[in-house]
């Protein structure tokens, strides 16, 4: 039976305390002799003198240097039988010995044993020794389990994981979708393997490479690939592992890390999430001895200080380059900044092919179709997409992943878990008109992305969804496209107003209105797409300083702020009017699509466009009617 060490400690400590006091009592000076002659009762010193004067005392034994006496005397209350008493004698009683001699009473003096002092000393030391031993055992046990409190003496040591030959299991062939970044980093590997090729022409090895990109784009995976390809000693650590509550510990860990790296040069150091330690200095309110700033200063010195580091390449990753200190980004420290962005269509195809190696796909599954269905997905998103599809396949007891599982996995990753289908009711019909309003406006207005599907199956917080998929990669977005997206987002609210009236509009358009307002404000303040002219009135960078939210000021006057609000309102109202006009002109086709959607619960984009194409606009009636 396994017993917890905490339970053992819980019972051991009280036992040690009790044992300590028992020890003190058992081995006190002269305790052995006095214990053998202990009287059954005590007698006061005054009564002892009365018995002595009356001639009742027969013998006296003195202990503890004359401080205690064991007296034998005749007790008149017990039929003149001899009784033993213990008497505590006063310190100053020199006449007692004289009285005992005058009365011719037998008395004896027992000197204090010298070994009693030794036992007393041992008794006083045994408990502190056992307590210290128990605390040592506790700290050591905590060190083995958590590596926390027991490492008090190792605070200044680096916690970097070290591998003499980095066997990460990842090579450049396992990384896809970021070919430009791979080319940049391939040179780093060549530097480490064949430095003479570059030094022969006077080139020096780069000291640092900073990988910058959104989360999930493959920055850490690239670092693993570099380590796997280079075959040199490899140190890996997170930026947060430098910082502790004690000032100076982070700087000490940086020194220890570079000391180990110098001993194993040439080598690689990978610092993940370097923004945890590399933020701009002086970014807080007030003074004080900032541990993070000391750690950053030491890192700057080690990377490119007075001594320098030859043969050590630092690879760092972050998704917040805007908060990093400028001294950290200068040449000589991080010589290269490699952008690792979300992949394009070709990159997504490559990533899906890598992650599909260990997946059993049906012959009907098209990697290109999946890539076109997932614009904006990062490498981590695509890996999660295929994993979700595999889980759904196993749950449905299929032998291979089909497009049905792929489509459901995309919906789940983007919108959340599938909910319970709605029952036929007024609410379901209202949601159907809302979603068809989005789809019909997005289909008929120019410059809008095509409809991928419309569904009434709830997902996440949404009771219904309309999916739009861009037909091509869009690096730049035109003003017409932005207005088309605003109009399409307002199609749901416009349908509610035209079909049910203003008094029956619902809260379902809350998310749409937030999205619409955000896009319209960006058109005015960032992209210069309004009557205010080509002005950028708001910064795109986030706040860096701790107290920036308290000290921010508007970059324009109150008069300009009022004009911005007016321009935003005009853009939204214009698009809202266009959406309502499209709904009015297409009431016949909308009613048919709503009935079909309530019946089938999901209409794909191809079927939706075919139904819309069956109607033609009649100017006299100002609406679309079925073709004859």
- Residue ranges of the alpha helices (H) in 4-94? 5-26, 31-36, 45-53
- CA–CA separation, 122 vs 129, rounded Å? 10
- CA–CA separation, 208 vs 269, rounded Å? 9
Residues 6+ away with beta carbon under 8 Å from 76: 56
Longest Cα–Cα distance of the chain, Å, equals: 151
435 is catalytic: yes
Is there a contact between 615 and 625 (Cβ–Cβ < 8 Å)? yes
Q: Exposed/middle/buried for 233, CB within 10 Å: 0-12, 13-18, 19+?
A: buried
State the Rg of the chain over Cα.
Answer: 43
- CA–CA separation, 150 vs 166, rounded Å? 29
Is there a contact between 60 and 99 (Cβ–Cβ < 8 Å)? no
Structure tokens at 165: 């030959």
Closest C-alpha among 138, 126, 60, 122 to residue 93: 60
Closest C-alpha among 546, 484, 486, 535 to residue 515: 486
Structure tokens at 70: 């064991």
Is there a contact between 375 and 473 (Cβ–Cβ < 8 Å)? yes
Q: CB count, 10 Å around CB of 283? A: 16
Residues 6+ away with beta carbon under 8 Å from 188: 206, 209, 226, 230, 313, 315
Q: Exposed/middle/buried for 510, CB within 10 Å: 0-12, 13-18, 19+?
A: exposed
The crossing angle, in degrees rounded to 10, of helices 403-415 and 379-395 is 120
Closest C-alpha among 305, 316, 152 to residue 223: 316
- CA–CA separation, 223 vs 264, rounded Å? 18
Q: Exposed/middle/buried for 307, CB within 10 Å: 0-12, 13-18, 19+?
A: exposed
Q: CB count, 10 Å around CB of 331? A: 11
Closest C-alpha among 229, 313, 301, 224 to residue 266: 313
String of b and e for 353-374 (b: at least 16 CB within 10 Å)? ebbbeeeebeeebebeebbbbb
Which of 64, 302, 435, 498 is an active site residue? 435
Give strand ranges (E) for 448-507: 451-455, 465-468
Give the catalytic positions in this structure.
Answer: 435
């Amino acid at each position: 039976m396994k017993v917890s060490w905490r339970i053992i400690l819980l019972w051991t400590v009280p036992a040690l305390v009790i044992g300590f006091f028992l020890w003190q009592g058992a081995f006190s000076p002269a305790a052995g002799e006095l214990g053998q002659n202990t009287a059954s009762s005590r007698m006061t010193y005054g009564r002892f003198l009365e018995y002595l004067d009356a001639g009742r005392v027969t013998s006296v034994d003195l202990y503890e240097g004359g401080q205690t006496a064991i007296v034998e005397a005749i007790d008149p209350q017990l039929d003149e039988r001899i009784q033993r008493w213990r008497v505590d004698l006063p310190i100053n009683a020199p006449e007692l010995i004289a009285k005992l001699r005058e009365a011719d009473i037998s008395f004896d003096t027992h000197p204090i044993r010298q070994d009693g002092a030794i036992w007393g000393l041992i008794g006083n030391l045994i408990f502190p020794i056992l307590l210290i031993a128990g605390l040592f055992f506790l700290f050591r046990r905590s060190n083995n389990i958590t590596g926390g409190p027991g490492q008090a003496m190792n605070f200044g040591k680096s916690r970097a994981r070290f591998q003499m030959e980095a066997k990460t299991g990842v090579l450049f062939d396992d990384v896809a979708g970021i070919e430009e970044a791979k080319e940049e980093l391939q040179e780093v590997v060549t530097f480490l393997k064949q430095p003479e090729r570059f030094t022969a022409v006077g080139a020096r090895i780069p000291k640092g490479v900073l990988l910058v990109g959104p989360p999930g784009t493959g920055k850490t995976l690239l670092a693993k690939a570099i380590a796997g390809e280079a075959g040199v000693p490899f140190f890996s650590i997170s930026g947060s592992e430098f910082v502790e509550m004690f000032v100076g510990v982070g700087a000490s860990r940086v020194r220890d890390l570079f000391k180990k790296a110098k001993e194993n040069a040439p080598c690689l150091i990978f610092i993940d999430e370097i923004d945890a330690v590399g933020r701009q200095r002086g970014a807080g309110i007030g003074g004080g001895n900032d541990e993070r700033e000391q750690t950053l200063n030491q890192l700057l010195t080690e990377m490119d200080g007075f001594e320098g580091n030859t043969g050590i390449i630092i690879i760092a990753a972050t998704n917040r380059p805007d908060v990093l200190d400028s001294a950290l980004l200068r040449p000589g420290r991080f010589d290269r900044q490699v952008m690792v962005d979300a992949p394009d269509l070709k990159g997504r195809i490559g990533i899906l092919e890598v992650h599909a190696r260990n997946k059993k796909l049906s012959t009907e599954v098209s990697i290109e179709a999946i890539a076109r269905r997932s614009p904006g997905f990062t490498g981590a998103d695509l890996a999660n997409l295929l994993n979700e599809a595999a889980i759904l396949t196993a749950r449905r007891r299929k032998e291979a992943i089909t497009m049905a599982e792929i489509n459901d996995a995309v919906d789940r990753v983007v919108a959340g878990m599938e909910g319970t289908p709605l029952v036929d009711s007024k609410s379901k019909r209202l949601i159907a008109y809302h979603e068809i309003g989005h789809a019909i406006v997005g289909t008929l207005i120019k410059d809008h992305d095509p409809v991928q599907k419309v569904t009434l199956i709830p997902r996440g917080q949404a009771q219904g969804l309309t999916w739009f998929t861009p037909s091509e990669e869009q690096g730049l977005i035109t003003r017409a496209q932005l207005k088309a997206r605003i109009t399409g987002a307002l199609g749901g609210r416009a349908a509610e107003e035209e079909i049910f009236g203003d008094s029956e509009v619902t809260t379902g358009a809350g998310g749409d209105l937030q999205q619409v307002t955000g896009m319209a404000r960006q058109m005015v303040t960032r992209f210069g797409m309004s009557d205010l002219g080509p002005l950028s009135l708001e910064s795109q960078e986030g706040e860096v300083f701790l107290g920036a939210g308290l000290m921010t000021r508007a970059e324009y006057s109150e008069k300009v702020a009022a004009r911005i609000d007016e321009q935003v309102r005009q853009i939204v109202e214009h698009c809202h009017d266009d959406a309502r006009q499209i709904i009015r002109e297409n009431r016949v086709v909308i009613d048919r699509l709503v009935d079909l959607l309530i019946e089938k619960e999901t209409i794909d984009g191809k079927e939706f466009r075919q139904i819309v194409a069956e109607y033609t606009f009649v100017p006299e009636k100002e609406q679309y009617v079925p073709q004859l």
